Copies of this chain bind each other. A is one copy, B any other.
């Protein structure tokens, strides 16, 4: 059973806007065992829309439209589907009455063109819109001996998603064989995709009933396992079995076995050890703190820290001796170590992190740093209970944004590994 998703709207044919509803709809359809074979994006043009509708109905079993159900002249999905399927439109008095009431309750007169939203295709079921004025429509029909399901949904994701959940998913599920899906996500940081694939492919390829997807980006690899079976427990035990074998193979490289982010995992590990964290950041400029504080509840374990971009602030906030900065340069192993130890002392945290580096595009500022290459970053981690901070030298590539992101990612992964050793 294959589906086509059609996004209607001229704004999605500009360089500025993209259809995103189809990602959501694809995930939901896949859960029901329906795969998406085509996606089409078409403008607010009755001829183009009608032809796109005809083509989709001829090549797919399920066709879902998003957008083009509003009250303006540009909203033409109803008309196009009517033309493609040879169905007439009737103005539904119940919908119309509801719309008049809605406007009346706000003491407003309903603009005449709004009435168009009450036009329903012959034989269509009306899908209630809990979050907007345009109702959806669901057509289950036969075209040339083939059963076709054609669904019209509003474009705004806030309206489309709840309408799909409440109105479409149950209807589709009822017409399809019963299936239960189970999912697992394993996440790893700072490991090459090729290495993950080489080590895991011999395992996941044996599970032909589990769909494995490897996603790579921003210093992270995700392994998604999806399995569909007639019973939920059967599906779950298959993905759990596979995930278990992959965990055994990849070991500590896996930071998350149920999808948590690296930030969440680090905060969780701090919590389990009753430890607090503080950070002194130079080249990352607050990115590490920003990532940690984006997690709700992070305030319990992340105290905060300092963005010591200017050299004098490295001294003011992280107690780095001026002399050290002068002799070693602000981007040095010694300064990173002093930052981690200093911020830990100043904040009273159990763990201190120091990050200093050259993010580019300009090189090292002055003194000993002038010769140092863009992408050179030092990450230091200091534990209150222990001696000198441990420093890791990184040689990152890419532009400013990438170097900053990877520096923060390395700092989080180094934190995780250090905490792991201190279980």
Residues of A participating in the B interface, judged by any CB pair closer than 8 Å:
12-16, 18, 20, 23-24, 26-27, 30, 35-43, 45, 48, 51-52, 55, 59, 213, 215, 224, 276, 278-279, 281-282, 284-290, 292-294, 296-299, 302-310, 312-313, 316-317, 346-348, 360-362, 365, 400-401, 404
Contacts and interface: CB of A to CB of B under 8 A. Distances in A.
A285 B296 contact: no
A213 B14 contact: yes
A310 B317 contact: no
A404 B294 contact: yes
Given A13-B39, A303-B312, A304-B310, 14 more contacts: A14-B26, A14-B30, A14-B213, A16-B215, A37-B43, A37-B48, A38-B52, A39-B41, A279-B307, A285-B292, A285-B304, A305-B313, A316-B347, A317-B317
Contacts of A365: 299
A341 to B, nearest CB: 16
Nearest to A288: B286
B317 A293 contact: no
A40 B40 contact: yes
21 contacts: A13-B26, A13-B38, A13-B39, A15-B23, A15-B24, A15-B30, A16-B23, A18-B20, A18-B23, A37-B43, A39-B41, A285-B292, A285-B293, A287-B290, A296-B400, A297-B362, A298-B309, A303-B313, A304-B317, A312-B347, A313-B347
Contact of A360 (B41, B213, B278, B296): B296
Q: With a 10 A CB-CB cut-off, give which of A14, A30, A298 has the most chain B CB atoms.
A: A14
Nearest to A25: B15
Contact of A310 (B59, B294, B299): B299
Nearest to A38: B42
Contacts of A307: 279, 286, 289, 293, 304-307
Contacts of A16: 23, 213, 215, 224
A403 to B, nearest CB: 11
Contacts of A289: 285-286, 289-290, 307, 309
